[in-house]
Amino acid sequence: MGIFDKFKKIVSKKESKEEKERVETYEKGLEKTRQEFVSNLSRLGIKYTKVNEEYFEELENLLIMADIGVNTVFKFMDRIRDRVKKENITDTNYLNEVIVDELFIIYVNNESLSDKIEWAQSGPTVILMVGVNGVGKTTTIAKLAYKYHEEGKKVMMIAADTFRAGAVPQLKIWADKTDSLFFGKENTDPSGVIYDGLEIAKKENVDIVLIDTAGRLQNKVNLMKELEKMNKVIGRIIPGAPHETLLVIDATTGQNGIVQAESFKEITNITGIVLTKLDGTAKGGIVLAIKESVGIPVKFIGLGEKMTDLQVFDIEAYIYGLFKDMIGHE
Amino acid sequence: MFEYMGDRLSKAIKNIRGMGRITEENINEAMREIRMALLEADVNYQVVKEFVNNVKEKALGMEVGKNLKPDELFIKLVKDELISLLGSEVAPLETKKNPTILLLVGLQGSGKTTTAGKLANYLRKKESKHPLLVACDVYRPAAIDQLKEIGSSLNIPVFEEGKKNPVDIVKDALAFAKENKNDYIIIDTAGRLHIDDNLMKELQDISDFVHPDEILLVIDAMMGQDAIHVIEGFNDALKLTGCILTKLDGNTKGGVALSVRHLTNVPIKFVGDSEKLDGLSAFYPERMAERILDMGDIMGIAEKVEGIISEDEAKDQMKKMQSGKYDLEDFLTNLKQIKKLGPLENILKMLPGMRKMGLNNVEIDPKQMAHVEAIILSMTPYERRHPDILKASRKQRIAKGSGRSVEEINRLLKQFEEMKKMMKMMQNGNLKLPF
């Protein structure tokens, strides 16, 4: 059981303080998420000592409730059934391990995943934030700015959400709080704002530029075209940019998350996902489905409202966060 | 009408057609597809289970009459059950009291501030009220600015006192409203998690102080299975009187509507269906049911089209489309017919499957259609029948005649070719949509 060993290693690995802190943030942030999910799963194990059809049905229920995505769950269930048959698994405790293992496989899918940010060889690194309305783009930018500022980088924010009332002042407040440079204008063409902003970024020798865009529902053709234009403008001023285009997805999002990822990927080269609001009761399971169907990895997750609550995504820590109690039961 | 529903669902239901009666075996596949459709629409798992069992039970007890085929009977049953789950009656907003106080609550990013503006606009327009907006989101940076900006664009007063205790703000707002004879008070609050006890307590304090006539939960239509925790969390703390479902102009099915109504009995009062400040509509259970089943309002289109195109004409056109002989002359005829139908966006919205393709919200510029018409009208009838012969010099002539550019003509021709290809694919049944 590869993944379980890895978890145990994480638990026992006390060597680095940082590592330990990171795992703790995950545990704390995912507390609510985990409580229900794991207690359900272990209840399942108590209720059914033998693996049977009813067990499968309840398991399926559990996974769907975590928003893992209907198709992904159905395929997943087929695989689990397969393994149960082939390996002649009857013990539900052992099956729990198989489940975690298979969930991990869905996400990893034999690829070498990079959760790292792609830095520019020279000049400013540009990160473009996109997503539907209300997912937390602006707040995520603030958290990223804080993080990179702490790392000693010169950060700049560009407010290209020229549509929503109050969006520009909202970002400005965050720029002041995080000691970032700021450029933004209200009620104008966002591509124009980006153009001017990036020129300044080059002059000021900024290390990292975070661009906030207006929330757009993925089926609004005009708004998606606008995004295409912004992308072109960015590439024209800084060749090779944007170095990262991050799609922000709300952890409470259901099946529509898959469509969001697909549609945004068609327009721009989405390099990663930021999964926000995981500190509620939502499981954010849709990222597994997104990874499976669109192949976009999660790069950051938001585990709370504090500036330090944005974490680099770590699939092992995430799944461990979900299943910690269960592993403890062994 | 089933041909137009979600592909798999319609196939499954077709199988019931021709059966003498409804038996467990012949509805099994359809039941499975309905279950999938509901789960994919983010309807709560428990609700789906109950619903499927309910429908199954009722379907098996049904008498197949002479006039109704079993498949028709079955789909009617499914739709009716959905509607009854969604709440058969429209739940109107409290409007009698003076002043009426509305408290908007919800998670972060669900759209409370925008909805507050939309509600104020709606009340003024539809009910001739004089609403006052009250800014109580004292946490999110610039949230007050946002409400102020919305208020000023609508010319609706906004009461704010910066970052103070929300209860104090509300207290002063009530006095302000009395003085200014505002008959509606809409309170915008900060987004919060339903498990954040401190912030939930703050809402309770506001509620205990003003005794709002309505406490409305603003909820994102794209929400997944976690919706039930959120709804229950807010409802337990505050006794909600209604829900407003936002961002329904996305291509989400909005199955959360079913969960809200069925599991908490809180009625849905409005839906937000555009980013503009007039994008708020009353909630209609029937439309929601059709959206979830991806049925579309085919009946509505059929009625509209009937008056304009004769049946023979339509059959003729269909044949041409399928054989690939459809040319620009036919296209021109169709264009004229379509114009008679009224704004094309509205028709597209009625078409099932359009939502999936993301075409339900396409904004079609009537000017663009006029340009297309001008280009085709500048061609000779022979050119319209044989667009292949259009080379540079002919294109230049057409460009001059229509006042459009050669580029535009090229684009039109390319699009037309693609359209023809699509028509052929539809005929061959090979049309695979990318989802």
Query: What pLDDT does A39 receive?
Result: 67
Range A75-91 burial, b when 16+ CB lie within 10 A, else e: ebbeebeebbeeeeeee
**DSSP label of B94:** P
B418 with B322, same domain: the answer is yes
Which residue range forms the structural domain that includes residue B149?
A: 100-293
A202 with A227, same domain: the answer is yes
Of A164, A170, A283, the CB nearest to B141: A170
Which residues neighbour B229 within 8 Å (Cβ) at sequence distance 6 or greater? A280, A281, A282, B194
**DSSP label of A50:** B
- Distance from B391 to chain A by nearest Cα, in Å? 30
CB-based contacts of B428-435 (< 8 A; 24+ apart in sequence): B433/B356, B433/B357, B434/A262, B435/A259, B435/A262, B435/B356
Lowest mean pLDDT among A42-46, A270-274, B277-281, B383-387: A42-46
A138 with A257, same domain: the answer is yes
A303 with A191, same domain: the answer is yes
B113 with B242, same domain: the answer is yes
CB within 8 Å: A254 and B363: no
Q: Kindly tell me the burial class for residue A187, based on how many C-beta atoms sit within 10 Å of its own C-beta (0-12, 13-18, 19 or more).
A: exposed
Rank A113-127, A206-220, B80-94, B353-367 by mean pLDDT and report only the highest: A206-220
Mean pLDDT taken over chain B? 82
Q: Find, in chain B, the residue whose alpha carbon is nearest to that of A187.
A: B149
Token look-up 């990223």 returns: A144
What residue ranges of chain A have pLDDT lower than 50?
Answer: 1, 11-14, 327-330
Report yes or no: A236 and A186 within 8 Å, Cβ to Cβ: no
Token duo for residue A309: 């609550």
Report the complex ipTM: 0.83
Q: What is the CATH number of the domain that holds B40?
A: 1.20.120.140
Query: What pLDDT does B432 receive?
Result: 43
Instruction: Classify B93 as helix, strand or coil.
Output: coil
**Cα A135 from Cα B222, distance rounded (Å):** 11
B207 with B264, same domain: the answer is yes
CB within 8 Å: A252 and B36: no
**Cα B36 from Cα A261, distance rounded (Å):** 21
> pLDDT per residue over B199-226, tens digit each?
999 999 999 999 999 999 999 999 999 8
Query: What pLDDT does B276 receive?
Result: 85
The overall pTM is greater than 0.80: no
| Residues from chain B contacting residue A178 (CB–CB below 8 Å) | none
Q: Is A98 in CB contact (< 8 Å) with chain B?
A: no
What percentage of chain B exceeds 90 in pLDDT? Answer: 36
Query: What pLDDT does A329 receive?
Result: 43
A263 with A142, same domain: the answer is yes
Chain B residues 383-412 with CB within 8 Å of chain A: none
Residue B92 domain-assigned (yes or no): no
Q: What is the CATH number of the domain that holds B107?
A: 3.40.50.300
> pLDDT per residue over B311-343, tens digit each?
677 677 777 776 777 788 888 877 777 776 655
**Cα B358 from Cα A180, distance rounded (Å):** 38
Q: What is the CATH number of the domain that holds A203?
A: 3.40.50.300
Cis ω before A190 (30° cut-off from 0): no
Kindly give the residue spans of alpha helices, DSSP state H, lying in A113-185. 137-150, 167-177
| Residues from chain B contacting residue A262 (CB–CB below 8 Å) | 434-435
Domain count, chain B: 3
Q: Is A58 in CB contact (< 8 Å) with chain B?
A: no
CB within 8 Å: B223 and A252: yes
Of A133, A279, A283, the CB nearest to B193: A279
B256 with B359, same domain: the answer is no
- CA-nearest of B208, B263, B253 to B231 is B263
Q: Is B197 in CB contact (< 8 Å) with chain A?
A: no
Query: What pLDDT does B301 receive?
Result: 54
Q: What is the CATH number of the domain that holds A56?
A: 1.20.120.140
pLDDT band at B109 (very low <50, low <70, confident <90, very high): very high
Query: What pLDDT does A154 receive?
Result: 96
More confident residue, B88 or A208: A208
A176 with A301, same domain: the answer is yes
Which residue range forms the structural domain that includes residue A146?
A: 125-313
A324 with A297, same domain: the answer is no
**To probe the interface with A, which of B108, B158, B217, B226 has the most A CB atoms within 10 Å?**
B226
Residue B160 domain-assigned (yes or no): yes
**Cα B2 from Cα B12, distance rounded (Å):** 10
Chain A residues 229-268 with CB within 8 Å of chain B: 250-257, 259, 262-263
B250 with B139, same domain: the answer is yes
Residue B91 domain-assigned (yes or no): no
Q: Is A221 in CB contact (< 8 Å) with chain B?
A: yes
B107 with B81, same domain: the answer is no
Domain count, chain A: 2
Residue A7 domain-assigned (yes or no): yes
Q: Is B196 left (phi over 0), alpha (psi -120 to 50) or beta?
A: beta
Of B39, B108, B149, the CB nearest to A166: B149
B111 with B219, same domain: the answer is yes
**To probe the interface with B, which of A72, A275, A281, A305 has the most B CB atoms within 10 Å?**
A281
Residue B175 domain-assigned (yes or no): yes
A99 with A236, same domain: the answer is no
Q: Find, in chain B, the residue whose alpha carbon is nearest to that of A263.
A: B358
Report yes or no: A179 and A149 within 8 Å, Cβ to Cβ: yes
| Residues from chain A contacting residue B256 (CB–CB below 8 Å) | 254
B221 with B115, same domain: the answer is yes
B307 with B389, same domain: the answer is yes
Which residues neighbour A60 within 8 Å (Cβ) at sequence distance 6 or greater? A73, A74, A77
- Distance from B95 to chain A by nearest Cα, in Å? 28
Residue A120 domain-assigned (yes or no): no
Query: What pLDDT does A13 receive?
Result: 46
Q: What is the CATH number of the domain that holds B392?
A: 1.10.260.30
Mean pLDDT of B36-45: 87
B82 with B119, same domain: the answer is no
B131 with B275, same domain: the answer is yes
Residue B95 domain-assigned (yes or no): no
B105 with B72, same domain: the answer is no
A72 with A184, same domain: the answer is no
- Distance from B249 to chain A by nearest Cα, in Å? 8
| Residues from chain B contacting residue A172 (CB–CB below 8 Å) | 142
